Amino acid sequence: MKSIQTTKRSPTDHSLCEDPRVRRRVSLLYAGIIAVAFVCSASARAGTGILDAGRLTATGAVTAVDGSAGGGINPWAVIAGYGTNRQIGGSTFYTHLTLPNFQLNAYGAAIGLFDRVELSYARQDFSLGNTGAQLDGAIAGFFGAPVSGLPAPLQFGANDTLSQDIIGLKVRLFGNIVYDQGTLLPEVSVGVHYHQNNNTATIRALGARPNGSTFYISASKLYLDGLFGRYTFVDFNLNVTDANQNGLLGFGGLDRNGAFSNRYHLEPAFSIAQFITRTMAVGYEFRAMPQNQLVGYNALGDAVSRTSDWQDIFLAYFPAKFVSITAAYARLGAIASLPGQNGLYLSLNASF
Amino acid sequence: MITRNSQFHRAWVLGVLLMLPAVAAQAAGADYYAQFGGAAGMRALVNAFVNRVVIDPRISAYFRRTNIPALKAALALQFCQLEGGNCKFSMSMHAVHAQLGVTQAAFNALANDLYLTMDRRAIPMAAQNNLLAKLAAMEPQVVTR
Q: What is the pLDDT of residues A62-72, one digit of tens each?
A: 999 999 999 99
pLDDT score of A156: 86
Non-local CB neighbours of A330 within 8 Å, separated by 6+ positions: A72, A73, A97, A99, A310, A311, A312, A342, A343, A344, A345
Task: State the average pLDDT for chain A.
Answer: 88
Q: Residue A12 pLDDT more than 80? A: no
Going by C-alpha positions, the residue among B111, B130, B136 that lies closest to residue B35 is B130
Torsion over CA: A16, A18, A21, A24 (sign): positive
Q: Please report which confidence band the pLDDT of residue A35 belongs to, taking 50, 70 and 90 as the band edges.
A: low
Non-local CB neighbours of A278 within 8 Å, separated by 6+ positions: A57, A58, A231, B115
In A113-224, alpha helices (H): 131-143, 200-205
Interface size, chain A vs chain B, as Cβ–Cβ contacts under 8 Å: 140
**Lowest model confidence (mean pLDDT) among A191-200, A210-219, A258-267:** A258-267
Q: Residue B25 pLDDT more than 60? A: no
pLDDT score of B10: 67
Q: Residue B10: in which H helix or E strand, if any? A: helix B7-19
pLDDT in tens, B94-104: 999 999 999 99
Q: Quick one: closest CA in B to A288, which residue?
A: B8
Type of residue at A26: V
| CATH class name, domain A16-351 | mainly beta
pLDDT in tens, A307-326: 999 999 999 999 999 999 99
pLDDT score of A262: 78
Report the alpha-carbon distance of residue A351 to residue A17 in Å, rounded: 23
Q: Please report which confidence band the pLDDT of residue B11 belongs to, taking 50, 70 and 90 as the band edges.
A: low
Q: Residue B106 pLDDT more than 70? A: yes
Task: Domain ranges for chain A, please list them.
Answer: 16-351
Among A179, A186, A231, the residue with its CB nearest the CB of B139 is: A179
Q: Which residues pair with A234 in a beta bridge?
A: A221, A272
Q: Do B104 and A230 touch (CB under 8 A)?
A: no
**Do A274 and A226 meet the contact criterion of CB atoms below 8 Å apart?**
yes
Q: Please report which confidence band the pLDDT of residue A41 belongs to, taking 50, 70 and 90 as the band edges.
A: very low
pLDDT score of A42: 42
Q: Residue B9 pLDDT more than 70? A: no
Q: Please report which confidence band the pLDDT of residue A159 belongs to, taking 50, 70 and 90 as the band edges.
A: confident
pLDDT score of A87: 96
Q: Residue A45 pLDDT more than 60? A: no
Task: State the average pLDDT for chain B.
Answer: 89
ipTM of the complex: 0.90
Q: Residue A146 pLDDT more than 60? A: yes
Q: Which residues of chain A lie closer than 8 angstroms to B140, CB-CB?
A: 179
Among A48, A186, A291, the residue with its CB nearest the CB of B103 is: A48
B5: contact with A, CB 8 A cutoff: yes
